Structure 1
Amino acid sequence: MPETERSVDVSAVWDGNWRGYLPEMGPSWVAGAIAAGPATMASLVTAGATFGYALLWVVVLSAVLGATAQYLSMRLGLLTEAGLVTVVERHLGESWAWVLVVDAVLAAGLAQLVIMKGVADISATVTGIDARLWGVAWAVVLAVGLAGRGYRFLERLAKLLVFGVVVAFLLSLIVVPIDPAAAASGLVPRVPAGVDGALVAAGILGGAVHITLITMHSYTMRARGWTTREYGLATFDVGASMLVAFGLYSLAIFFVAAGVLHSPSVTASDLTAVSAAQALGPLVGANAKWLFLLGLWGAAVSTLGGNTIVPPYLLADKLGWETDVSDTRYRLLVAAVALLSGAGAFVGGAFFPLLVLVLAFGLVGTPFAIAIVLYLLNGDAVSEPTSPLANFGGGVLFVVTTVLAVNFVRTRVVGSIGDPLPTFVLLFAVALGLVTLGLFGKGVYEAVGSGSAG
């Protein structure tokens, strides 16, 4: 059958040409570089060090749900061949598009500041130069690199760094002691008692299922010029990066922390980069701190680059601009976001707890993004019906992220009402919850109306 006549199917990889796919992979690896960053590393190390193997089931689930979220985003992007914000505006209206933009830009912007704080702090630890100077320097480097060289440079860097980090942590498992029985017990779903358990679980899932990863995918595929003809390649790209590479990365870091660093005296709120570095002690002895900081630095740099392009993509698409550096307005927007991120070096507080909190905050805005994607995939935005299996996966994804987000707000935010940040998070969560319910009601109303007409 000619290529143009093939029907797009959920199975996607119709010719099994995985060898040909390997050198062409890319867009999902940019998302993987963000997911496999210091925030996820912080959550995984915190989980293993604080609770041992108890949250292993969350680690496994994060890779599966992360791949599911990327697949659904990929499918919508390829079948519409347009940016997500444009598709939302066409089929839901301008107000819904602005809600999505604000949701994603807030989550990405907060993450950008904290990740920059990490890069600056680590650079200062290694060199002895003030972290604030490093923040300014990294912001300039980021602006020049991304605004000057464009997407393909970022994609190549993402693939290289993700591959290197995965290999490094897999090798570490050779010498780290793992208790098979205890690890197996961690596959039984349960959240350790207390605020820390719920927050860390939300942080782990927030690294893989984050609104920035869901919203950026249509734009990175457009940067590569992918259409429905690349459906098989795009599906393979998601599986290789999020399910395999990110899954191995997460499991390796978690097992290292649970096997070496776990202690009853460790608490999530007290964990620092230096104490987490001791997890690599059996590998490099006295140099454990420096090796860990180097790995954390590399992850932070790759995540910082990928996260920088998310707000410009969404804002440029909403304003009707091109989403590549050929458009001067987009180029200036990328440079502005990069330079503003330098303010992160001036943020106070400990790096690791801030990272976990940022991931959990991003999770609050994620159910709405998932609901948008599912609504569009099951409406007139696409010509091909979505399979029951894909819809089931999306439903599970929505329920899990919603439950974790609600639990996070209930345990971490409600008790701190009166303080500026918790109050803002609560209002943000309530507003998005109401908007998501409105979208659900709209979908039900349209489905009932369509059924009656039929």
Structure 2
Amino acid sequence: MATEDGAGRLDSLLSQMGPTWLAGAIAAGPATMASLLTAGAGYGYTLLWIVLLSALLGATAQFLATRLGLLTEAGIVSVVEERLGSRWAWLLVADAVLASGLAQLVIMKTVADVSATITGIDAVVWAVVWGVVLAVGLAGGGYHIAETGAKVLVSLVVLAFVASLVIVPVDLGAAATGLVPRIPGGTSGALAAAGILGGAVHITLVTMQSYTMRARGWTREDSDLAIADIGGSMLLAFGVYSLAIFLVAAGVLHSAGSVSPGDLTATAAAQALGPLVGENAKWLFLLGLWGAAISTLGGNTTVPPYLLADKLGWEQDVSDSRYRTAIVVTALVGIGGVFLGGAFFPLLVLVLAFGLVGTPFAIALVLFLLNDPGTVPETNSVAANVAGLVLIGVTTVTAGSFLRGQVQAGIWDPLTLFVVGFASVLAVAMLGLLALFVRNRSRQEPAAQESLD
């Protein structure tokens, strides 16, 4: 009887979870997979430390975003606008929409290309099909469709890669050397590290959390459930997913030496795994990639509509025709990703690295608001602030290493120029936030002293 009661409580807990699983579905996507495979194939176990760190920092970022959402019970954009003004809110919207929009294009290319490889049907046809499926499904079913799909697909993808890890030899001694923090390989190593970290700590994940929580109906009383949600999705599911893929790549692709990071594709990776998992390796690998890409595409499609709806005062669900239209437009615009040139694997890594550039600003905003007594009834603890500052420091250094590598390598294409320029704007904005924080604290301290007197 006790066992049945325990199982019933577990089922109830799992059914109540959801918001961070949607974020986890985006995190455990093809871009993260590409970064992990590239890092493992190119540098062996060297970057194991950042793989482990990414899950921990990803959970930390979601905890801070969740705490802000629970304490304010409002969307992050409206909170920023109320406390800091419309310009700050628009800057956050622009940051998140640009990052998620670029990701939407590349992930759609991934889904379409993998679908074409599996079925033999042209990728353009598949892009149109998936765009329409997303538009109809999300505009019709809204958040609940996205959440259910995320739970199912992420669980299946994690199981698939854990199963592959069972039959892959892992050199524990060599793996232990990867626990020492270092970034190898100059520009390419910094790109791989930024891609891994960007998969877990990304502006789209941080900003969407307050909206998916509201769609779930969570309030301040649900803080324990929120922590369980973060632990189950980001720490456990995403952490195991990342570790399994990285160890497979480091243990097989790197030692085989048959696939260089620059030439790595989904098919090449699968064929290198062939001697271990048999002749169906290509299809098993592609199906795992396919599931990860579809779950990520669904979650990512909801991000721009949530942010725009909050900024423009729309309802943030499909009952509002304007929000529903934004969902459809985002889904259909993504179809254009199929026409991007080049292989999708290197594009996926690049997308995460570029997205990471805009992430420190979003985390700084969350941390600022969590320390503002006018925003939240209970400001951050010292431990939460330290965790937030570590998060900002690690993401800033990693993103900076990536940008510095691009510049030193003489990569001055239009996209890089735009990202460097936008990163400069966000850096100035972060300094502005720091100045505001110092000013506010200097005003609060005399007021607190007067109240004591």
Aligned residue identity for 2:293: A
Residue 126 (structure 1) shift:
1.6
- CA–CA distance in structure 1, aligned partners of residues 315 and 76 of structure 2: 13
Maintained 8 Å contact 2:49/2:180? yes
Maintained 8 Å contact 2:259/2:268? no
Maintained 8 Å contact 1:175/1:282? no
Q: Counterpart of 1:192?
A: 184
Residue 174 (structure 1) shift:
1.6
**Residue 274 (structure 2) pairs with residue 281 (structure 1):** yes
Q: Counterpart of 1:325?
A: 318
Aligned residue identity for 1:156: T
**Residue 331 (structure 2) pairs with residue 338 (structure 1):** yes
Q: Counterpart of 2:5?
A: none
**Aligned runs of 1:166-245 on 2, under 5 Å?**
166-245=158-237
The number of residue pairs the alignment matches comes to 438
**Aligned runs of 1:350-369 on 2, under 5 Å?**
350-369=343-362
Q: Which moved more, 1:383-392 or 1:372-381?
A: 383-392
Q: Counterpart of 1:4?
A: none
**Aligned runs of 1:343-422 on 2, under 5 Å?**
343-379=336-372, 380-413=374-407, 415-416=409-410, 418-422=412-416
**Residue 448 (structure 2) pairs with residue 444 (structure 1):** no
SS class of match (1:276): helix
Residue 171 (structure 1) shift:
1.7
Q: Counterpart of 1:46?
A: 38
Maintained 8 Å contact 1:71/1:238? yes
SS class of match (1:286): coil
- CA–CA distance in structure 2, aligned partners of residues 403 and 448 of structure 1: 29
- Give the direction of change, closer, same or farther, for the CA distance of 1:134–1:39 in structure 2 (3 Å limit): same
Q: Which moved more, 1:125-134 or 1:189-198?
A: 125-134
- CA–CA distance in structure 1, aligned partners of residues 58 and 140 of structure 2: 31
Maintained 8 Å contact 1:413/1:425? no
Aligned residue identity for 1:217: Q
- CA–CA distance in structure 1, aligned partners of residues 159 and 72 of structure 2: 36
- CA–CA distance in structure 2, aligned partners of residues 91 and 267 of structure 1: 49
Q: Counterpart of 2:308?
A: 315
- Give the direction of change, closer, same or farther, for the CA distance of 1:27–1:224 in structure 2 (3 Å limit): same
Q: Which moved more, 1:416-425 or 1:377-386?
A: 416-425
Residue 36 (structure 1) shift:
0.2
Q: TM-score scaled by structure 2?
A: 0.94
- CA–CA distance in structure 1, aligned partners of residues 103 and 337 of structure 2: 9
- CA–CA distance in structure 1, aligned partners of residues 196 and 44 of structure 2: 14
Residue 125 (structure 1) shift:
1.2
- CA–CA distance in structure 2, aligned partners of residues 18 and 128 of structure 1: 42
- Give the direction of change, closer, same or farther, for the CA distance of 1:413–1:131 in structure 2 (3 Å limit): farther
- Give the direction of change, closer, same or farther, for the CA distance of 1:418–1:204 in structure 2 (3 Å limit): closer
Q: Counterpart of 2:145?
A: 153
Maintained 8 Å contact 2:207/2:362? yes
Maintained 8 Å contact 2:44/2:254? yes
Residue 220 (structure 1) shift:
0.3
Residue 268 (structure 1) shift:
2.4
Residue 448 (structure 1) shift:
2.1
Q: Counterpart of 1:25?
A: 17
Q: Counterpart of 1:6?
A: none
Aligned residue identity for 1:445: R
Deviations 1:337-388 (CA, angstroms, capped at 9, x unpaired): 0000000011111111000000000000000000000000000210012111
- CA–CA distance in structure 1, aligned partners of residues 105 and 204 of structure 2: 14
Deviations 1:125-179 (CA, angstroms, capped at 9, x unpaired): 1222221121112111110011011111110110111111111211222210000
- CA–CA distance in structure 1, aligned partners of residues 298 and 44 of structure 2: 32
Residue 421 (structure 1) shift:
1.4
- CA–CA distance in structure 2, aligned partners of residues 345 and 222 of structure 1: 33
Q: Which moved more, 1:185-194 or 1:408-417?
A: 408-417
- CA–CA distance in structure 2, aligned partners of residues 265 and 176 of structure 1: 16
Q: Counterpart of 1:139?
A: 131
Aligned residue identity for 2:289: L
Deviations 1:96-131 (CA, angstroms, capped at 9, x unpaired): 000000000000000000000001111111222221
Q: Counterpart of 2:422?
A: 428
- CA–CA distance in structure 2, aligned partners of residues 441 and 343 of structure 1: 41
Aligned residue identity for 1:119: V
Deviations 1:195-231 (CA, angstroms, capped at 9, x unpaired): 1111000000000000000000000010011101111
Aligned residue identity for 1:278: Q
Aligned residue identity for 1:338: A
- CA–CA distance in structure 2, aligned partners of residues 80 and 282 of structure 1: 54
Structure 1, unaligned stretches of length 5 or more? 1-16
Q: Counterpart of 2:65?
A: 73
Question: Identity over aligned residues, as a percent?
Answer: 67
- CA–CA distance in structure 1, aligned partners of residues 121 and 130 of structure 2: 13
Aligned residue identity for 2:406: R
Maintained 8 Å contact 1:51/1:192? yes
- CA–CA distance in structure 1, aligned partners of residues 324 and 272 of structure 2: 41
Kindly report the root-mean-square deviation, in angstroms, between the aligned alpha carbons of the 2 structures.
Answer: 1.4
SS class of match (1:322): coil
- CA–CA distance in structure 2, aligned partners of residues 21 and 436 of structure 1: 38
Residue 22 (structure 1) shift:
2.6
